[in-house]
Amino acid sequence: MSRAVLAFERLTPEPGPDADAQRHEWVARCTAAAGDVLEVGGIATVWSLLVDGAEVASGRSAFERHEVTLEPGEHEVRVVVHPLADLLAELPTRPRQRWRTMLVEESRLRWVRTQLLGRAPGFSPGPPVVGPYQPITLGPRRPRLRAWLEGTTGVVEVDGARHEEIADAALWWPHTHGTPTLHDVRVDGEVVGRVGFRTVENRSPDSLELWVNGVRVFARGAVWTPGSPDALDEAARLGLNLVRVPGTGAYESDAFHQRCDELGLLVWQDLAFATFDYPLADDGFVATVEAEVADHAARLAAHPSTAVVCGSAEHEQQAAMFGVSPSTGYAAELAALLRPVVEASPLDAVWVDSSPSGGDPVTRVDTGIAQYFGVGAYLRDLPDARHSRVGFAAECLAFSHLPDPVVAGGVPRDNGADWDFADVREHYLRVRYGPEATEADAQRVTGEVMADVFGEWRRPESGCGGGIVLWLRDLEPGAGWGLLDHTGRPKPAARVLAPVLQPTAVWLVDEGLNGLDVHVANDGPEPVTGTLRVALLREDGTDGEAAEVEVEVPAHGHHVAGVEALLGRFADATYAYRFGPPPHAGVRATFGSLQAVWRVPLASLQ
């Protein structure tokens, strides 16, 4: 079933910093056939839709979706966006805020259903998003699909009616663990969509541990930022198996979710709520957000990639940092409102109250859903990643990653902080490379730190269910948080991180006086057999003493061995005992074509 995307021409100037104070207008022309429907995916924020000069729809929310049936023939379609500043001036001041957000300066935005990207000075200064940010399409009405498993039988529902059963249905898997199989759905002989069959559950008693189709999935993801869906392909190539759509942004398009289905990328979907104390005592506001959440939950039910739904981004955390006691129950009100709406929908996904949530206080990282920046923004050494006992990191490892070639600008800074994320990069560069560090070292070092943390967390003994890097792609040129630059190309740090994220991976973990462990993971559905080889490295990087062993790693399995056990002698592999000069410069481990290198830390040599 094909639908045409309308090509709009902007009639007013491109938005600047004052975009919320201006009127904006776009026009497109289209030809409708009998029964065609105009679908509005999302317009920011106060808008009117006109067809042939007559208003056919309007809204005061960027997250409302509308359908308008057109008569056959040619039509002019106009989108008019009215100044958001006019709406803000009319909004009530009650109920009074019980805490204030640090994310944006305009607190009245708590009343407005729109995205905060472009309005957050610290990391997304603008201009704000205005106008049709999701496609407006024309074509036959799309039926609403849903799919689930009954035993091994796949069941397909079309517009609420049981439509088809597929015996012994091939399952949909995250690409790291199997094939993301999709099945065509036909109505009257025409393909109207595709669905996948899978189960998803959380088996952690106090955090998040995703199991898909009865198999544990170590999640390695990144926070999504708006832009070309091609970045999803890059995410999969890097070895990521999850993307998080954040509450500071907007709900993504159907094409985005379809591509995640195809690629086998799990989706963590934040509902579009962030750090505000929302006016939940206002009946009109509550009715608006309940309808919004019900609509998007029903839409996402068609997508097997949708695995987690989170009530908000940093809502509970902001209340805690403002001094609101959890005993008041204020911060929990939003999740209490939204969770029943999602659970009453056809969407099969794991629910999470907020990110972070579950700890006492909510900022604890060893219980519930954490946001972990110990290694990273808070300049902790690598052992902190283990000592903190992170169960699941819904945000983590924010660094100012240098692009290639290096260009100035784009460095994020937390609102109110007297340091920025370039300072964080420089700290780890000094620790690892000393004063003689090169530009290439600076491009690589943040990837090395991330790889070490993911290697720590991916160990089965770590108890960590996964981590989501902040974020996937930069919004502007420069050294932003993105693993990809603003054009969608992987940065050097991303290429350093990628090997430890792959379905089959080998890496080394420093266990101190217990030596150096080599890990081989096989997330795939078939056993993997190969030669595991370890070698002590000379100063010039060539192999010295070495040992090897044949290893079979089972499907969805893991193998770990001590380097000294493989060598058959004490070798002070980690140079922890420090008996004289280091006997070697590092250790190389290979498994088939895969390779990992660990080097004696600079701190151990001083």
CATH of the domain at 553: 2.60.40.10
Instruction: Determine contact, residues 61/42, Cβ cutoff 8 Å.
Output: no
Query: Is residue 371 domain-shared with residue 432, that is, in the same domain?
Result: yes
Q: Phi/psi of residue 485, each to 5°?
A: -75, 180
Instruction: Clarify whether residues 391 and 494 are in a common domain.
Output: yes
Burial class (CB in 10 A: 0-12, 13-18, 19+), 145: buried
Contact 252, 303 (CB under 8 A): no
Same domain for 478 and 533? no
Q: In total, how many domains does the chain have?
A: 4
Domain region containing 19:
4-140
Instruction: Please provide the DSSP assignment of 479-496 as one string.
Output: S-S-SB-TTSPBPHHHHH
Whether residue 100 is found in the same domain as residue 153? no
Q: Are residues 420 and 479 in the same domain?
A: yes
Do residues 68 and 37 touch, judged by C-beta distance below 8 A?
yes
Cα–Cα distance, 293 to 302 (Å, whole number): 15
Amino acid at 219: A
Torsion of CA 181, 185, 191, 195, to 10 degrees: -40
State the residue for tokens 């056809």. Answer: 346
100 and 168 together in one domain:
no
* H helix runs in 244-383, sequence order: 254-263, 283-300, 315-321, 333-343
* Judgement on whether residues 135 and 86 belong to the same structural domain of the protein: yes
Is residue 152 domain-shared with residue 266, that is, in the same domain? Answer: no
Closest CA to 502 of 480, 476, 482, 528: 528
Predicted local distance difference test score (pLDDT) of residue 1:
67
Q: Distance (Å, rounded) from C-alpha 215 to C-alpha 379?
A: 35
Mark which of 483, 502, 521 sits at the end of a domain: 502
Domain check: are 92 and 112 in the same one?
Answer: yes
CB proximity list for 481: less than 8 A, separation 6 or greater: 123, 398, 399, 400, 401, 412, 421, 470, 471, 474
What's residue 326's pLDDT? 85
Which letter does DSSP use for residue 366 in this model? S
Q: Do 213 and 198 touch, CB atoms closer than 8 A?
A: yes
pTM above the 0.85 mark? yes
Give pLDDT, residue 86.
Answer: 96
- Bridge partner residues of 595 (DSSP): 590
Can you give the pLDDT at residue 294? 98
Q: How far is CA 298 from the centre of its chain?
A: 21
Using CA atoms, how far residue 559 sits from 109, 289, 461, 552, 591, in Å, is: 51, 47, 12, 8, 11
Distance in angstroms (rounded) separating the CA atoms of residues 513 and 510: 9
- Report the amino acid identity of residue 11: L
CATH of the domain at 125: 2.60.120.260
Q: Are residues 179 and 78 in the same domain?
A: no
Domain boundary among 125, 160, 195: 195
Which of 469, 418, 462 has the alpha carbon at shortest distance from 446? 469
374 shares its domain with 433: yes
The answer on 448 and 368 residing in a single domain is yes
Mean pLDDT per 10-residue section of the chain, whose length is 606 residues: 92 94 98 96 97 97 97 98 96 88 90 92 84 96 96 97 97 98 96 97 97 98 95 98 96 96 98 96 96 97 98 94 87 95 97 95 95 97 97 98 96 89 97 96 98 97 97 96 97 98 98 96 98 97 97 98 98 93 96 97 80
CATH (domain of 227): 3.20.20.80
Q: What pLDDT is recorded for position 506? A: 98
List C-alpha distances in Å: 545 to 175, 538, 583, 591: 37, 9, 11, 17
Q: What is the pLDDT of residue 93?
A: 82
